[in-house]
Amino acid sequence: MTQIHPSAYVSPKAELGRNVSIGPFSIVEDDVVVGDDCRLEGHVTIKSGTALGAHNEVAEGAVLGGIPQHLKAGSELGTLLIGNGNRIREYVTIHRGLTPSDCTKVGDGNMIMVNAHIAHDCRIGNNTVIVNNVMLAGHITVGDGAYFGGAAGVHQFCRIGRLAMIGGQSHLSQDVPPFVTVDGISNYIVGLNLVGLRRAGFARDEIKDLQGAYRVIYRSGLLWNDMLEVLKNTFKYGPASEFHEFLSIGDRGFVQERKTPRQASIKLADVTHADEPLRKVA
């Protein structure tokens, strides 16, 4: 049986499922869908254009479907689609798509902790953990099972691969491949997310292949295209094949490993001085 606190406001144009609970002083605006067995605590705001699936829990002060924090945000906006079985904790903010054809999407079974922010047009997979004060800018894609430590920040348009572990207070401006761990102090990759892989039920042989692919990417010293070719030809099946797929696309570049392989020579910069000829730092 649906229960709505007397102090809550629910628009007659909203659609509520069965066994929905809405706490005191919460607001559910026009053009909102709240699925079966959802629970909204006190002071929750669900803005127009938002749809929640079933069995979602939304804690105090959360605002879902807010206007994008973008200079081009107009009066006509996109939507926010949230799946099933998510736990959205206190003061989380998740924004709608920027234009009428855009949609911010959150999958199933995610844990989004206190004061986290998910901006417009993000795509969040399933079973992720987004810890307190994490900041995800617009158009970010997050793979299934990814984990973000507290206060991590990610630049717009970045991709975070599935089961990646992002350390607390990381600040990322490039893509993070699947299955790896990013250190929150250096913002570099420090190996595979072995704990996450084992918890996800990966077999020993699958982890061994991932370790082999990781060495090809970060320890072989191969040129980029040669490295991709080795990945493609050597790891054709299973989770390790996802490295080639992920690394073959992307516009922002990729987070590097903290320890540079000795045999690799990396050009750092081209530096020009007014009184000196062009010199290369390698």
Q: What is the pLDDT of residues 141-170, one digit of tens each?
A: 999 999 999 999 999 999 999 999 999 999
**Residue 54: per-residue pLDDT:** 98
Query: How confident is the model over 122-139, as a mean pLDDT?
Result: 98
Name the least confident of 102-116, 120-134, 267-281. 267-281
Q: What is the largest CA-CA distance in the chain?
A: 78
260 — pLDDT class (breaks 50, 70, 90): low
Q: What is the mean pLDDT of the chain?
A: 93
CB atoms within 10 A of CB 222: 17
Is 128:110 a contact under the CB 8 Å cutoff? yes
Closest CA to 111 of 97, 125, 123: 125
End-to-end CA distance of the chain: 68
Is 36:15 a contact under the CB 8 Å cutoff? no
Q: What are the structural domains, with CATH classification, of the chain?
A: 3-192 (2.160.10.10), 204-281 (1.20.1180.10)
**Catalytic residue numbers, as ranges:** 120-121, 138
Is 166:176 a contact under the CB 8 Å cutoff? yes
263 — pLDDT class (breaks 50, 70, 90): low
The pTM (predicted TM-score) of the whole model is 0.90
